[in-house]
Amino acid sequence: MQESWRWYGPLDKITLPQIAQTGATGIVTSLHEIPYGEVWSREAIAARKSLIAEARHGQTWNVVESLPIHERIKRGDGDLSGLFANYRQSMANLAAEGVTTICYNFMPLIDWTRTALANQLPNGGTSLRFNQVQIAALELHMLERDGAEADFSDEIQEQAKAWFDASTEDDREALINAVMAGLPGAYDRYDVPALKQALTLYDGIGRREIRANYARFLSEIIPAAQDLGMKFCVHPDDPPRDIFGLPRVVSCADDIAWVFDQQDAVENGLTLCAGSLGANPANDVPAIARRFAERIHFAHLRNVRKDADGSFEEAAHLEGDTDMVALVAALLDEEARRKKEGRADAILPWRPDHGHELLSDIGSGTHPGYPLIGRMRGLAEMRGVIAALSHSHVSFV
């Protein structure tokens, strides 16, 4: 398995030389400065590759995360031929520069969502956290979304009202800012009035419509991926549930099976994100990894700890609810199978994800969820698991 690291490009506070000291050789990055729907030129892609090469640490750009999908495609809004053509051209330009794995998501409007970016931990560090009560307060009392009551229990609604009544303007602003923090680079960010307005663009668009629009996207893109020799891997929804009334359609094993059924090709694959899938109590993440092993092209190894009310927080990589040893075993078995077949793509890229802020991470201003030391701890822990399981590796079924 290839150790990789998400890097936000030239504006990232964590540098390529620092990443090299972690031991990661794969660089997972994106051209966040390019707006949705515009072509990624071959020149821009080559320039990013050159930055990585000029650091002279043997690192390579191995995964794009992500090539964003325009919201009009998700809504099925108007003539989309130009957007699809631009997307395919960006893919062709990436392939021409030797970057052939694309991680993407199909979450409407909002990317990964948390309510706190610096949740205090007993050891003095901080983590990301999703608080169900605060999300309910945002939906019910700040956005005042019609029908939101149906999404929350009476108990959560009561607690949400109490939180809202006791909150200050600063508390409410911190909440919306935390929710928006999952959107990197050129992604739009919203205050409460702007988010209200943006949500109206999805009026009348339910799960059936989102699925239809997603199926259309795959029909436009996967044949191009096959022609270009590219792997296309969907990132599961985070959290894996509807939010703000927006349907999320990649949240469980049945959803993943549906995605693969739309285009039955190995190029139509999965980013196995242990944390995103692990936040759904119904998901057995190692079992999902084994079921869909042939289609996994990239992995995010992280862990979460869930509460009974639907809240969850980022756990240390080996301390959450998901059995990470069993998960890594499933991925190593798939690597072994591919190696036996002599496949060129046998080695799976993976990266540590959403680490705790620890030691000098605190106050360093890195992108939320992407500190240096916290992720390096996760990388080291998972490296140890991989090394131990790889020793005399036969099968871990």
Among residues 143, 145, 66, 135, which one has the least CA distance to residue 105? 66
Concerning whether 235 is annotated as a catalytic residue, the answer is yes
CB atoms within 10 A of CB 277: 28
Would residue 227 show up in a list of annotated catalytic residues for this protein? no
Residue 297 annotated in active site:
no
Spot the catalytic one: 235, 297, 317, 356: 235
Six token digits for residue 174: 């911190």
273 belongs to the catalytic site? yes
Nearest one of 319, 328, 264, 322 to 299, comparing CA atoms? 328
Spatial separation of the C-alpha atoms in residues 93 and 113, rounded to whole Å? 31
Q: Is 141 a catalytic residue?
A: no
Is residue 353 part of the annotated active site? The answer reads yes
Which of 70, 353, 356, 361 does the annotation list as catalytic? 353
Kind plus residue range of the DSSP H or E element containing 397: none
**Angle, alpha carbons 221-226-227 (nearest 5°):** 100
Question: Smallest Cα–Cα separation from 269: which of 334, 351, 320, 321?
Answer: 334
∠ CA 365-380-184, nearest 5°, is 35
- 70, 141, 300, 317: which is the annotated catalytic residue? 300
| Calpha distance 316→223 (Å, rounded) | 39
Q: Out of 141, 354, 356, 361, which one is annotated catalytic?
A: 354
Give me the catalytic one of 104, 273, 356, 361: 273
Residues noted as catalytic: 235, 273, 300, 353-354, 370
